[in-house]
A and B are shown apart, each in its own frame.
Chain A
Amino acid sequence: MSEWIQIGAVLDFPRQGSRVVESPKGAIAVFRTQDDRFFALHDRCPHRGGPLSQGIVYGHRIACPLHSWVIELETGEAVAPDEGETACFQIREDQGNIYLKV
């Protein structure tokens, strides 16, 4: 059954940055964008498995640090013309805290 887990406070996440949540099924990257939206993706680029959490965040996108593939934070899809997808997780903010649905 899925549930919302508190993973930290808003202030733990740098703007245009990310933090990692470890899980037995692989790391989850949690991103905070310039406009203070939060997104969570499986921390693996669909291209060669690069850690997306280590990339550069801009707009609602993340550029993978290994070969510069760009992934949409909202959908986990690679920006065309590249093709691929990484899993997304639901995330929400409530009273300054960040919750991840797992």
Chain B
Amino acid sequence: MQGANGGTPESGNGANSSQGELALFLPDGIQTHEYTERAMKKKMKLVVIGNGMAGIRTVEELLKMAPDLYDISVFGAEPHCNYNRILLSPVLAGEKSLNDIILNQEDWYTEHHITLYKGEKATLIDRKNRSVIGELGARADYDRLLIATGSSPFILPIPGRELSGVVAFRDIKDVDQMLEAARTGRHAVVIGGGLLGLEAANGLRKQGMDVTVVHNMTSLMERQLDEPAASLLQNSLEQSGLSFLIAAQTEAIIGENRVRAVRFKDGLEIPADLVVMAVGIRPNIELAKASGIHCERGIIVSDTMQTYDPSVYAVGECVQHRGELFGLVAPTFEQAKVCANQLAEVGSGRYRGSVTSTKLKVTGIDLFSAGDFKGGEGFEELVMQDPSRGIYKKLVVKDNRIRGAVLYGDTVAGGWYFQLMRESTDIQSFRESILFGHSNMADEGRDGQSIASMSDDAEVCGCNGVCKKTVVDAILEKKLFTLDEVRAHTKASSSCGSCTGLVEQILQATVGNYDPTPAEKPVCACTTHAHDAVRQQIAQRGLKSLDAIFRSLDWQTPDGCQKCRPALNYYLLCAWPSEYRDDPNSRFINERVHANIQKDGTYSVVPRMWGGLTTPDELRAIAGVADKFQIPTVKVTGGQRIDLLGVKKEDLPAVWAELNSAGMVSGHAYGKSLRTVKTCVGSEWCRFGTQDSTGLGVKLEKMTWGSWTPHKFKMAVSGCPRNCAEATIKDFGIICVDSGYEIHVGGNGGIKIRGTDLLVKVSSETEVFEYCGAFMQIYREEGRYLERTAPWIERVGLAYVKSRLENAEERQRLFEKFKVSQETAQVDPWAELSKPAARSEFVAIASLENSHV
């Protein structure tokens, strides 16, 4: 009933060594213990000034991490619960109702035991006694204070600004006044031709008013748009019925008690029943300033979102971080995350600023802008203009990297350009087609699809069968803001990712302008470190175990997760090939049992056939195994191997032993590793063959089998340019020509097909081996886990890979390193695992009788 022995020798040793390591965890353990005790004794008090998006987002993030750490009180000047301010424009335009944009209903506050002083403005921060006083007399003591007072609209200091009918566009009260004016009056004047002003103007027009937009600069939205895009925008807004006064200086607002007209410096006067000031915002810093907290234009905060008083934090539009002020929601949410992290006393989150993009929320107008869109000296501009279709696209590029973008009329690719910009991707290899968008790169097949024209039941995600309505409903019901959240809740875009652009558009149309902005994504939720940073630390600090990484790099979980452990295990294996011992429990099941798991829990087994060659004896052995173990399906794979499908887990060791005894080893068809070398028959048989492609393929496979790589790695050798082995869609492909060998790299089939780039042409097999090993080694060392060579090369640039490999000394050094790591890698895992001592993992430890259950 019990396993024959006490586990494998490996697992025994593993247990001992990690017990030894556990002792080193003690200081942390004690801290956690004390921390819990303190929380049990008495909760700390957190007071939040500001019931808006930034403050409440911070509280939500905090509750996720440390639900019981604080008693929380919130002061909110507005008589509402927290609502989505960026959706005020659709409310004004009559496309959404007030109820649609409430983010947290009253019961949310109750449920989390949050005391809400609704409609009570905080008027004093008494830092000496750590207390906040409200205008109606409420008093809340704090251990930690969070200031999230947001910003106020800037009101031009001109005569008449105090008249009734002059409003800003900031909160629900303003929207109510505007809607009221739209019912009774006819003429609206919006001062300010920026993002907010245009959204206000559009909303008022939709409410039936005659709207004139007054702008003191020479073109609209000059902070987001260049002149060509701005004039296209102005044209189409004029066609929709708006009037514009450009480069106009407002002198006064005229009226007795209520506004009647607006007068300009040149003497022109136009009628107005409503004037909306949308000329900018100013951080609300008065309260903080009065309590002695250091402010400049905003409340000064550090990377931990702390003000000069370490018990006082601040987030959102009221802060000034590294000299920057903020007016968009994306950076605000990133600050909220960092601040919550600090308040929860976990981890080491730091805010380092944000890159943002802008979209205009005016129905029927597609506009996208990001980064340094103006360019200038030292920059290149890629421009596409199609006036009759109303399309304008401009990318600002430096050193083959996108620095900024302006899109008008067709913004489908906006998210993609933004990602290329944030990740500083080398665009050289696809810059000739980049302006046509992502869909042009043969991956999406959804060219020109606009989400507005999609029906509710149209399929968005083909992998998981998710339709548009499901995505929209989830966004609204679950209050989702980010792509990752939509992925988690709906599964849309979570498998192959080709519908990501579409999902991002739905997200933007439904919830407004939100883009995640971190430059480099952390490995997983356990850490703030990105892949490259972790690898650097592994090398620099000589980290040689998973535990050492978790400890030294402040992992937020004791033993990682299913995302980071496989990545870290690979990085350790790659960095310390002869020292690090592989951790099978940090590998996906396929690599743990060296077979591919199938949907019914059985496995598929693929023996290696060098270069796709086999023999009658091998075929007989395979047939014998299939018969003996009643394997239901035998199939030839795309990589020229034979796949035995439907093998029961307990049969695996015996199947391997039989294949081993016929001279076959694991084909690694399951791993992030060298898969197969596909070949054509070459000069030995083919009347067109120029070189012995089959022989070369066999030699390459013998050299490279067993090596672990960041993702799967496929090769092929074609004997002539007819390319029967399809070498130009492989990670490493050889095309033989009469004078030698062309080496092609970075191709793949799959979701996003990518043809290879020509790396170099060489004249001997020896050089092919050297380039192959060296190329694999750079990819092994610098590719991120689960990044195939195709996206890796697009990220770092072919020029970089070439420059490393063209240098003969460097190439040989890399090849040597590759060979060293192969010394420990080329052990047949099947032979190892079919030894009696290792077999216990494959069988049940016990079997219950009928009488037991």
Contact = CB atoms under 8 A, between A and B. Distances in A.
A80 to B, nearest CB: 8
Contact of B558 (A8, A34, A50, A102): A34
Interface in B1-21: 1-3, 6-8, 11-12, 14-15, 18
Contact of A63 (B558, B562, B850): B562
Contacts of A54: 589, 593, 597, 601, 649
Interface in B499-544: none
B15 A68 contact: no
B135 to A, nearest CB: 39
Contact of A15 (B8, B585, B587, B601): B585
B849 to A, nearest CB: 8
B2 A7 contact: yes
B593 to A, nearest CB: 8
B559 A50 contact: no
Contacts of A95: none
Given A21-B848, A54-B589, A59 B559 contact: yes
Interface string B561-599: 110011000000000000000000111110001000101
Contacts of A8: 1-3, 845-846
Contacts of A59: 557-559, 561
A50 B601 contact: yes
A81 B478 contact: yes
Which of A49, A55, A56 counts the most B-chain CB atoms under 10 A from its CB? Answer: A56
B562 A19 contact: no
Contacts, number: 126
Q: Choose among A23, A34, A58 the residue with the greatest number of B CB atoms under 10 Å from its CB.
A: A58
B560 interface: yes
A102 B557 contact: no
Given A34-B559, A58-B561, A12 B3 contact: yes
A69 B557 CA distance: 19
B234 to A, nearest CB: 43
B560 A58 contact: yes
B847 interface: yes
Contacts of A21: 844-848
A41 to B, nearest CB: 15
A13 B849 CA distance: 21
Interface in A1-53: 3, 5-9, 11-17, 19-25, 27-28, 30, 33-35, 48-51
A20 B589 CA distance: 15
| Most chain A beta-carbon neighbours within 10 Å: one of B845, B847, B850, B852 | B845
Contacts of B557: 58-59
A27 B489 CA distance: 29
Nearest to A33: B559
Interface string A63-102: 1011010100000000001000000000000000000101
Contacts of B158: none
B562 A14 contact: no
Given A8-B3, A19-B3, A81-B488, A66 B597 contact: yes
Nearest to A17: B585
A102 B8 CA distance: 28
A28 B803 CA distance: 55
Contact of B562 (A9, A50, A70): A70
Contacts of A30: 845
A34 B7 contact: no
A19 B597 contact: no
B848 A23 contact: yes
Given A11-B7, A56-B587, 20 more contacts: A5-B848, A5-B852, A7-B2, A8-B2, A12-B7, A14-B14, A14-B585, A15-B15, A19-B845, A23-B848, A51-B597, A54-B593, A56-B566, A56-B589, A58-B565, A59-B558, A66-B597, A68-B562, A81-B488, A102-B852
The 7 A-B pairs with the shortest beta carbon distances in the complex, nearest first, are A63-B562, A11-B6, A14-B11, A19-B845, A23-B848, A7-B846, A56-B562
Given A59-B557, A59-B559, A102-B852, A65 B11 contact: no
26 contacts: A3-B852, A5-B852, A6-B1, A7-B845, A8-B846, A12-B3, A12-B6, A14-B11, A15-B11, A15-B15, A19-B3, A21-B844, A21-B848, A22-B844, A28-B848, A35-B558, A51-B601, A54-B601, A55-B562, A56-B588, A59-B557, A59-B558, A63-B561, A65-B589, A65-B597, A68-B562
B6 A9 contact: yes
Interface in B417-446: none
A78 B560 CA distance: 18
Given A54-B589, A58-B561, A63-B562, A14 B7 contact: yes
A70 to B, nearest CB: 7
B7 A22 contact: no
Contacts of A17: 11, 585
A96 to B, nearest CB: 10
Contacts of B853: 23-25, 102
Contacts of B8: 14
B137 to A, nearest CB: 41
A27 B585 contact: no
Contacts of B7: 11-14
A58 B565 CA distance: 9
Nearest to A3: B852
Interface string B752-771: 00000000000000000000
Contacts of A23: 847-848, 852-853
A14 B16 CA distance: 11
B846 A22 contact: yes
A77 B203 CA distance: 46
Given A23-B853, A102-B852, A16 B845 contact: no
B11 A27 contact: no
Given A15-B11, A50-B601, A24 B848 contact: yes
Nearest to A51: B601
Contacts of A14: 7-8, 11, 14-15, 585, 841
Nearest to B597: A65
A7 to B, nearest CB: 4
A19 B6 CA distance: 12
Contacts of A5: 846, 848, 852
B463 to A, nearest CB: 10
Contacts of B589: 54-56, 65
Nearest to A58: B561
Contact of A22 (B2, B15, B847): B847
A92 B6 CA distance: 18
A15 B7 CA distance: 10
B848 A57 contact: no
A102 B478 CA distance: 39
B14 A12 contact: no
Nearest to A30: B845
Nearest to B490: A81
B588 to A, nearest CB: 7
A59 B528 CA distance: 18
